[in-house]
Amino acid sequence: MAQMKQKRLLIRTVILAILILAIVYTIYTNATKERSAILGVGDEAPDFTLVDLNGEEHQLSDYKGQGVFLNFWGTWCKPCTKEMPAMDRQYEVYKEQGVQILAVNIAQSNLEVQNFADQYGLNFPIVMDRTKSVMHAYNIDPLPTTLLINPDGKIERIITGEMTEQDIASFMEQIKPE
Amino acid sequence: MDNIICVCGHENPKGTILCGNCGRPLTDEAEKQKLLDMRYEGSARRSQTYNKSMIDKVWNFFSSVKIGVSLIVIILVAAAIGTILPQVLYVPATTETDIAAYYERVYGTFGEIYYKLGLSDLYGSWWFQTLIGMLGISLIVASLDRVIPLYKSLKKQRTRRHESFMKRQRLFGKGQNTLGDSSLLKSEEKLKELRYNVKVENGALLAEKGRFSRWGPYVNHAGLIIFLFGVMLRALPGFYVDETLWIREGETRAIPETPGFYLESKEFILETYDKSQADEVFGEAIERVGTIASNYQTDVILYQKPEDALPGDTKNLKQIKEESIQVNKPLKFEGFAVYQMDFRLDELRSMQFSLINKETEEPLGDLSIDLVNPEKTYKVGEDSTVELLGYYPDFSGFEDGEPQTKSPLPNNPAFLVKMITPQTPKGETSFVAIKQTLEPLGENEYKLAFQNVETRDVSGLTIRKDKTLWILALGGLLFMIGVVQGAYFNHRRIWIHETTDGQLAVAAHTNKNWFALKKELDQVSEIAQLPAYEDQQELETEVDKKDGEKSS
C-alpha cells in the first residue's frame, strides 16, 4: 500500500512537472519572440556584408579582433539622429583602440543619408541595407537599436533606444580589445 | 489501512461510495438515497483519496471539475474582453509609442486604459497563456483522475449485485418468477438479439452494451489536449511563421523569417467588374455599390541568395520563379506561402517640376525627381541646374530651423534646392513642399513650379508557414469523435437475478436515453415474463439528477 502511494506520488509529480515546464517554456518563448527570436547576448553575431556610401564593402567578419559598435538607424528617427554626433566624437577617441562603428541605414536613398552625414561631418562608415535583409537577420525593431559585438564576434549587449554620449563611451570601453 | 471493507468481504479504497464488487452503498449518505448516484460507478475518484503532500494538493486542485469550469468561464470572459477593441496586431502602428497614441486618439480615455492594462495584446499576454495552460493541466489531471477508476470498476463488474444496489436503480422491479429457470434463458436470448453482451452466473444476469460511449468525454478531452499541444508548438522556432511584408512596385525585399529568399514586386493590379460585361443580376449590384473588385494581384519574382552569400549581399541573387499572387492563390516555396492580403494605391513615386521665372513665368526646362532615389543635381534646359541640398520624404515641419521628416515614406515630400541659372549664377535657395514654397535666403527670381506626379502601388503580403496544422486537425477530429461517441451512443445495462426468496429482481441503468432503454426492457419483459418495473425517478419528483460525467 505504501509502495503504491509512493508510486502514485511520483507519477503525479512527473506529470505536473512536465506540464508546468511545457507551459512556462511556451510563455517564455512567446514573450521573447517579438524582441528577438534568434539573437541574444552571447550569441555569435550573424555575418553580413553591405556597401557604404562610398561604394566600399564592409563585411562584419573582417572586423574580427576589433570591437564592433553596430547601430541601426534612419534619418526620420529622431533619437537615431540625435545620438549620431556623439557616436562620431567617441569614434574619434576609440577607433585607434580598435573599436569600429558600422551604422546600418534602413533602406533610404543615398542622397538623404549623404546629406545627413555631410551635415554632421560623420566619419564612421554608413552602410546601406537596401533590401532590409540585415535588419531581418538581426530582428531589428524598433530603431535605434545598437549591438555591441566583442572582438570574438559575440554579442555583448543589445541596446534599444537612445544613448547618451556617456553611454556610448562606456559601451565602446566594454568591447575594446585587450 | 483506510480501506473500507464491505459486508460481502470486498476491500474498497477510501472514498468509494458503492462497493466495487456487489454494489452495496458504503456511505451513510448513499444509504439514505432512494436512487444511487451512478457517476463513476460510485468508485473513489483519486483526488479524494489522498490529500497529504503539496503535490497531492496541487493535483487535487486541478482535478476538481469546479476549478475546470471556473477556468473555462474566466477564459471566456477574458477572451470576450479582448474583442472590445482591436488587438495590437490589427492596429496601424508599429512602435510602442505609436500604438499607445493610436489607442488614445481613436478610442479616447477608454482606449488609453485598455492599452495600459495590456488588454490590447490580451491573447499574447502571459496571464492569458497561463490560464490556457492551467485549463490544459485541469483537462489532463481531471480526466486521468476519473477515467482510470471508471475503467477499473467497469472492467471488474460482478454479475450479481446486492439487492440494495438493485433497488436504488432508477428502473427497478421485483416479483414472481413465473417461468422459473427459463426466464433467465429467455431473457438472455432476447437480449443477445438486441445486441447486448450478456453474462449469466449463478442465477444472475448482466446485459451490457455501448460501454465505449462512457469514454466519449475522455476522447474529447484528449482531442482538446492535442489541439492545445499544437498551438503550443507554434511558439517554437520553425513551426509557425506569420509575417507581414509591405512591398512597393519595383522594390526588392528580403522575405522575413525565410532562409535567404527575396521578393521583387513588378506590379500591383486591382481590377474591378465591368458593368457592361457583367450579368444582369450583378449589373444591378454594381450600380448599387459602385465598383466591385474582381482581382487583387501582385506580380512578383522570387529570388534566393546563393548558399554562401551573406545577408546584405544581393549581387548574385538567383531567380527561382516569376508568379502572380492573387487572393487565395499564394506563392509557395519550401513550406512557405505568400498571400495577397492588403494594398495601398498611389504612393508618390516621382515629382515633375518646371524651373520658371517668377515674373515672366517663362520656363527654363523641366526636371523629374525620383522620390525613392533622388539625385544630387539635375540639369535643366540648356545651361541651368537644380541642386538638391535636402530631401524630406515625409515633411512634418521645422525644428530649430531644420526641416524634419517623420517617416522614410514619400507621403509629403519636401526639398531644399539650389537653382543655378545664367541670370543667377550664384544660385538661389528655395524650400519646396506640397502647396508651400519658402525662400529662406531672400527673394528669388526663379522657382520650381509643380507639374505632375507619378505614383506606384504598395502590396501588403503575408508570409505563412504552419507545421502544426495537421496536429490541430487531429485534435479537432478526436474532439468530434469524442462528442459523437458520448452523445449518440448510450451505455445501457440490465441486471436480472433470482433473489434468495425465489423471486425475480430486475434493474436497469443507462447514462442517457432512458426511453430507449425502457423500450428494450419492455421487449425482454414480454418474452421472459419479467416482473413489472417502475421508473423511480418519475415517481419521485425532486431527485437531483446531475450527470457529472457529461463532457464540457
Residue B300 gets which letter from DSSP?
Answer: E
pLDDT digits over B419-432, tens only? 999 888 888 999 99
Looking at the complex, does the CB of residue A21 fall below 8 Å from at least one CB of chain B?
no
Average of per-residue pLDDT across B478-505 = 93
Residue B123 CA to residue B229 CA, distance in Å, equals: 16
Given pLDDT bands bounded at 50, 70 and 90, which one contains residue B249? very high
Average of per-residue pLDDT across B436-444 = 84
* B206 against A32, higher pLDDT: B206
CB contact under 8 A, A111 and B133: no
- Is it the case that residue B552 has pLDDT exceeding 50? no
Nearest to B95 among A46, A114, A142 (CB): A142
Residue B372 CA to residue B351 CA, distance in Å, equals: 11
Element (H, E) at B344: strand B336-357
Cell of B281: 443580376
Given pLDDT bands bounded at 50, 70 and 90, which one contains residue A177? confident
Angle at CA of residue B473, ends B468 and B479, nearest 5°: 130
What is the end-to-end Cα distance of chain B in Å, rounded? Answer: 36
B237 to chain A: nearest residue by CA?
A37
pLDDT for res A33: 61
Model confidence pTM above 0.90:
no
CB contact under 8 A, A27 and B124: no
Distance from CA of A106 to the nearest CA of B (A): 9
B46 to chain A: nearest residue by CA?
A8
A141 to chain B: nearest residue by CA?
B95
- The bridge status of strand A99-106 relative to strand A126-129 is parallel
The phi and psi torsions of B386 (rounded to 5 degrees) equal -120, 125
Looking at the complex, does the CB of residue A13 fall below 8 Å from at least one CB of chain B?
yes
- The bridge status of strand A99-106 relative to strand A67-73 is parallel
Best CA proximity match to B525, nearest among B494, B491, B493: B494
A 10 A CB-CB count for A55 gives 7
Mean pLDDT (chain A, rounded): 87
Specify the 3-state DSSP secondary structure of B136.
helix
Interface test with A, best of B131, B313, B394 (most A CBs within 10 A): B313
Residues B336-350: b if buried by 16+ CB within 10 A, e if exposed: bbbbbbebeeebbbb
Percent with pLDDT over 90 in chain B:
48
CATH among 3.20.20.70, 1.10.150.120, 3.40.30.10, 3.20.20.140 for A49-175 = 3.40.30.10
pLDDT digits over A99-145, tens only? 999 999 998 998 999 999 998 999 999 999 988 888 888 888 778 89
What is the end-to-end Cα distance of chain A in Å, rounded? Answer: 66
pLDDT digits over B121-176, tens only? 898 888 999 999 999 999 999 999 899 989 988 988 888 888 888 988 999 999 98
Residue B499 CA to residue B175 CA, distance in Å, equals: 10
Given pLDDT bands bounded at 50, 70 and 90, which one contains residue B543? very low
Distance from CA of B369 to the nearest CA of A (A): 12
pLDDT for res A2: 66
Percent with pLDDT over 70 in chain A:
95
pLDDT for res B267: 93
Given pLDDT bands bounded at 50, 70 and 90, which one contains residue B46? low
Given pLDDT bands bounded at 50, 70 and 90, which one contains residue B114? very high
CB contact under 8 A, A27 and B391: no
Q: Where are the domains of chain A?
A: 1-33, 49-175
Best CA proximity match to A73, nearest among A109, A114, A108: A108
pLDDT digits over B303-325, tens only? 998 888 888 887 888 999 999 99
Rg of chain B taking only CA atoms, in angstroms: 39
- Could you tell me which CATH number the domain at B162-217+473-539 has? 3.30.310
Residue B331 CA to residue B322 CA, distance in Å, equals: 9
Residue B301 CA to residue B322 CA, distance in Å, equals: 4
Distance from CA of B243 to the nearest CA of A (A): 11
Given pLDDT bands bounded at 50, 70 and 90, which one contains residue A36? very low
Average of per-residue pLDDT across B407-411 = 89
Looking at the complex, does the CB of residue A170 fall below 8 Å from at least one CB of chain B?
no
Best CA proximity match to A140, nearest among A107, A176, A94: A107
Distance from CA of B521 to the nearest CA of A (A): 42
Average of per-residue pLDDT across B39-46 = 73
Cell of B13: 479504497
Q: Partners of B508 in the beta sheet?
A: B171, B494
Best CA proximity match to A16, nearest among B4, B105, B59, B448: B59
Residue B449 CA to residue B32 CA, distance in Å, equals: 100
Q: Which chain A residues are closer than 8 Å to B50 by Cβ?
A: 5, 8
pLDDT for res B35: 81
Q: Which chain A residues are closer than 8 Å to B257 by Cβ?
A: 136
Half-sphere exposure of B439 (CA within 13 A, CB side): 11
pLDDT for res B550: 43
Specify the 3-state DSSP secondary structure of B198.
strand
Given pLDDT bands bounded at 50, 70 and 90, which one contains residue B483? very high
Long-range contacts of B130-133 (CB under 8 A, 24+ apart): B130/A23, B130/A27, B131/B71, B131/B74, B131/B75, B131/B78, B132/B75, B132/B228, B133/A19, B133/A22, B133/A23, B133/A26, B133/A27
Half-sphere exposure of B41 (CA within 13 A, CB side): 25
B371 to chain A: nearest residue by CA?
A109
Given pLDDT bands bounded at 50, 70 and 90, which one contains residue A3? confident
Given pLDDT bands bounded at 50, 70 and 90, which one contains residue B278? low
- Helix %, strand %, coil % of chain A (to 5): 45, 20, 30
pLDDT for res B539: 66
Element (H, E) at B387: strand B384-392
- Is it the case that residue B50 has pLDDT exceeding 60? no
- Is it the case that residue B17 has pLDDT exceeding 90? no
Given pLDDT bands bounded at 50, 70 and 90, which one contains residue B544? very low
Looking at the complex, does the CB of residue A75 fall below 8 Å from at least one CB of chain B?
yes
CB contact under 8 A, A27 and B126: yes
pLDDT digits over A70-97, tens only? 999 999 888 898 899 999 999 999 989 9
Q: Where are the domains of chain B?
A: 45-152, 162-217+473-539, 240-345+460-466, 349-451
